Amino acid sequence: MPQLTVSFTFHSGIKRHLLGNVRLWGSWNAAGQLSDQWTAAPMAQSQGETGCDAYHASVQFDAAQAGTTFQWGVMADIQGAPDTWVVVTEVPDENSNERQRSFVLDADQTQQDYWFATGRRFGAQKYFAPGSAAPGVRFAVWAPHARNVEVVFAPFDLSGSTPTGYIADDGTGIDPAAAVLPLASKGGGIWESDPGTTPDFEAYRDRLYMYRITNEQGAATYKVDIFSRNQVGRGGINPGGAHYSGSYLDLDGIVSCSVVSDPDLVTRNFQDTGIDKQTLIPDSDFWASEYTPGRMPPRHIEDLIIYEMHVGSLGFPSTSAGTFADAIEFVDGLADLGVNAVELLPVLEFDGCCQWGYGTSLFFCLQTSAGGANQLKYFVRACHQRGIAVILDVVYNHFSTSDNERAEWGYDSDPNIAPQNNTWYWYQGQPTDYPGNINGGYLNNLSSGYTPRFSEENVRQMFTSSAATLLDDFHIDGLRVDLTDAIHQDNTLNANGASIGSANQYGTKFLRELTRTVKMINPAAFLMAEDHTGWSAMTQPADQGGVGFDAVWYADFHHHLIGDGNYGDNYAKLLRNAGYGTAGPLRIDYFAGALLATQSNKVAYHANHDEAGNESNTGRTIVISVNLAPLLGSTRKYAEGRSRFAFGLAALSAGTPMFLMGEEIGAAKYFRYNDFFLNKEDLVGGRTGDGQFLFRFYKDLIGMTTAKPAARSRALDVIYGDNNNRVIAFTRNAPGQQLLVLASLNDAPFDHGYVISTDPSRLPEGGWQEVFNSDAAVYGGDNVGNAGATLPVSGGQINAVIPAHGFVVFEKVG
């Protein structure tokens, strides 16, 4: 019987060794014929072409089956999870979440490949030829509409004039002494250089390059490498395609030349950020001192206390954007505060240098103006050495259209002529469907740009591979994914606002692929979504029909607790209404519902980057708490007391608590995306200045919650609420420990006691000792409380002193 041999390769695409007992499964029988009963074969491990693990198997097929479509996939054991299906990419059907590969048996197509991650597949990467120990370099790019692709190089010689690091639209800036490197079409829109002509990676390391893409219309365009690990530009100038004679230090990274980089090397010295002076060491040496015994970062999301930090807002009193150098100087400050997780606003390459970073353009490159990839690695290592997990805010919901002309926008086709072929962007239909509005087919989604083309596997896999790179190469502990509503729910046609259901479904497909990828690399990685839809599937496991996140941001908790902003009257707005300084009831019952809901996989916060002055009618907690009154004398005392109340109820909720940088010292300036650099606050000096009492309070409460399992559990019961007296009581429970929280936003203390009464089954009898008082004198309070006494509970009642605009915490001791 004539046979056809097909070879199958699973490329891990990441450096760490991930899989064991790897098996090929396929829809064929022992005779190599199509079968409903899939058969398995072991796959042999080897070093793949990128230097990462690859797994191979060959199958003999009946040649008479030529033209038949077969399915295949791979199963392996990973980190205590045997028999895991390790193909994370779903089939190209918006209505299916199946994950298998397909091919048509053909004598001319005898190699089938699957890449788990492509961060080392595309771009300027090491290439290991069979039998070679030393790598060459291969350039690879996805440009399905291109007529031709070449690599051109730019000079970087510091012995003469300062390098510009820029190639103009007419080619000015290309190094005339460097040979142009042609790329060949390999099918599927992929273009590759011949690594046989570039056998020495070291000869190309630190070379500056761009892709010269002859686009669909025949025009030569200069594009950055979407998979670039480093851009030479360090500033904010965009020449807009014109000749540029300035320094690369002033050039915007996203329009500058890409730099051939070795992701397996790290600078020996933190300060060595320029490609002209780096001394490099193996990353294995760098990471060898990553952890401190007995001081490991948390591994469970319920154990986190997250400090939301914007690197650009560090570096007081400078009015320039802060850098990773400022961040690493602040690490000891984080450790002193006691937080065990820091969440960085986006730090992947965006345009300019003075913004929040939510316009990411290059998803494998760290913001060069902030210090670049190696300095982020130093920051991560320093955090891990102090037991602090690092979470990155990532933006996958849109591509920018401004200042993105050398990245995704019009990558291989002119969007002014053929927008339907604007490769990275979703375009619905044809431009003829939108007479007089050529941009009508793009999709909006309530973000700040157009929707990515999630229907394309290469687009989705670029994002998932970026996440894989962050975990694998940078040792990031988790991701906060920006505005996932925009990905799975809010896609609408630019022309008329019509909902595009297929884009929502493909967006959901992408989110599942993302969470599977992350959890396969590190099952303990934290995955949080900024999602405001209330869709329960977001936090259900992907293999059980869900999307696979660990938690979602809980904006309603903030709106009920704080209440600034223009969010309507369906929220309690406790702090906002208390800030008016008038007597009267507060909607404690509304807030109680939000507090209870924190049990369901929520990130609970009283302040975040959007709600501290950026959104209309929002501001810092301490300012909102007194209705923007000057923070002087008794007004500041009220403000600090209410601010303690706000953080206390977030920290003691059943959610994962998070707060914005500066809250711990009573930061009062607006935190806005466009002028944050003018509103920096002294986060270190404030700890011994006006913010000393709040800082001590934050530090002590964080210490208590991290030490007490009941404060970190997901079990919470609101046992009492009184709108008129502005009092709420709730319990927190864990095996062997019970806590009781009594809180009041009344402007007068209940210094003669306040009786909390509930069903006896919800408040066990016995002794309850006061273990925390937000009104303690060391926090700037009046020391109204129970002096650490043990109070009796009988018949579901306790009579305890509750301070004004404060809270006390009791622990059951008998």
Cα-to-chain-centroid distance, residue 773: 35
Helix (H, G, I), strand (E, B) or coil at 602: strand
Beta strand extents in 522-600 (DSSP E only)? 526-529, 551-553
Task: Report the pLDDT value the prediction gives residue 400, as an integer from 0 to 100.
Answer: 86
CA distances from 535 to 93, 94, 490, 532, 538 (A): 22, 19, 13, 8, 6
Taking each helix axis from N to C terminus, what angle separates 501-521 and 457-472, rounded to the nearest 10 degrees? 30
CATH no. for 715-812: 2.60.40.1180
Cα–Cα distance for residue pair 63/29, rounded to 1 Å = 14
Structure-token pair, residue 468: 């894989």
Residue 576, both tokens: 């906002």
Name the residue with tokens 């779903």: 90
pLDDT score for 226: 98
Residue with tokens 């962050």: 470
Angle value at C-alpha 217, between 213 and 221, nearest 5 degrees: 30
Residue recorded with tokens 């936003």: 745
- Report which of 416, 494, 406, 410 is spatially closest to residue 449, judged by C-alpha positions: 494
- Grouping H, G, I as helix, E, B as strand and the rest as coil, residue 142 is strand
For residue 64, give both structure tokens.
């008479």
Contact 765, 793 (CB under 8 A): yes
Task: Yes or no: say if 51 and 43 are a contact pair by the CB < 8 Å rule.
Answer: no
Q: Tokens 């964080």: give the residue.
A: 702
As a whole number of angstroms, the distance between CA 430 and CA 448 comes to 23
First to last CA, the chain: 81
pLDDT of residue 743: 99
- Does domain 123-262 fall into CATH 2.60.40.10? yes
Burial, 34: exposed, middle or buried (Cβ in 10 Å; 0-12, 13-18, 19+)? middle
Q: Is 426 helix (H, G, I), strand (E, B) or coil?
A: coil
* DSSP code per residue over 464-533: HHHHHHHHHTT---EEEES-THHHHT--EETTT--B-HHHHHHHHHHHHHHHHHHHHH-TT-EEEE---S
CA dist 31 to 35, 60, 155, Å?
Answer: 10, 8, 58
- Residue showing tokens 């009573």: 666
- Give the C-alpha separation, 556 to 572, whole Å: 10
- pLDDT averaged per 10 residues, the chain (length 814): 95 97 98 98 97 98 98 95 97 97 96 98 97 93 99 87 91 97 98 96 97 99 98 95 95 97 96 79 98 98 98 96 97 99 98 90 96 97 99 97 91 98 98 98 97 99 99 99 99 98 99 99 98 98 96 98 91 97 96 98 98 93 97 97 99 99 98 94 97 99 98 98 99 98 98 98 98 99 98 98 99 95
Query: Is residue 451 a contact partner of residue 425, using CB atoms and an 8 Å limit?
Result: yes
Q: Taking the complete model, does pTM exceed 0.95, yes or no?
A: yes
340 within 8 A of 297, measured Cβ to Cβ: yes
Task: Give the 3-state DSSP-derived string for 155-183, with helices as H, strands as E and coil as C.
Answer: CCCCCCCCCCCCCCCCCCCCCCCCCCEEE
- Which structure tokens are listed for 745? 């936003």
- What residues does each domain of the chain span? 3-115, 123-262, 301-396+458-490+526-706, 715-812
CA distance 105 to 572: 63
How many beta carbons lie within 10 A of that of residue 362, not counting itself? Answer: 26
Rounded (10°) angle between helices 324-337 and 692-707? 70
Residue 282, number of CB atoms within 10 A of its CB:
12
CATH code 3.20.20.80 for 301-396+458-490+526-706: yes
Q: Under CATH, which architecture does the 3-115 domain have? A: Sandwich (2.60)
Cβ 443 vs Cβ 491: under 8 Å: yes
Q: Are 125 and 19 in contact (CB under 8 A)?
A: no
| H or E stretch covering 639 | helix 633-651
- Both tokens of 271, joined, read 């300060």
Give the CA-trace dihedral at 206, 53, 48, 110, to 10 degrees: -140
Task: Find how far residue 208's CA is from the centre of its chain.
Answer: 29
Structure tokens at 481: 């994914």
Q: Could you check whether the bond before residue 135 is cis, i.e. omega within 30 degrees of 0? A: no
What's the pLDDT score for residue 272?
Answer: 83
Asked if 351 and 406 count as a contact pair (C-beta separation under 8 A), the reply is no
| Cα 288–chain centre separation | 25
The reported pLDDT for the residue numbered 277 is 66
3-class DSSP assignment, residue 538: helix
- C-alpha distances (whole Å) from 203 to each of 134, 166, 206, 515 are 12, 21, 9, 37
Query: Quick one: 91 exposed, middle or buried, by C-beta within 10 A (0-12, 13-18, 19+)?
Result: middle
Query: What strand order describes the sheet that includes 44-47?
Result: 44-47, 53-62, 3-11, 111-115
Length of the chain: 814
The DSSP result for 332-401, as a single string, is HHHHHHT-SEEEEPP-EEESSSSS-S-SEEEEEEE-GGGTHHHHHHHHHHHHHHTT-EEEEEE--S-B--
Tell me if 3-115 shares its fold with 715-812.
yes
Read off φ and ψ for residue 501, nearest 5 degrees. Answer: -60, -35
Evaluate whether 50 touches 126 at the Cβ level (below 8 Å): yes
**Cα angle vertex 598, ends 592, 601, to 5°?**
165
- Residue pair 366/409 in contact (Cβ under 8 Å)? The answer is no
Query: Residue 195 corresponds to which tokens in the numbers above?
Result: 């690594």
DSSP string, 3-36: EEEEEEEEE--SSS---EEEEEEEEE-TTS-EEE
| E-only strand ranges, 596-638 | 602-605
Q: In what helix (H) or strand (E) does residue 664 lie, and over which residues does it extend?
A: none
- At 324, which helix (H) or strand (E)? helix 324-337
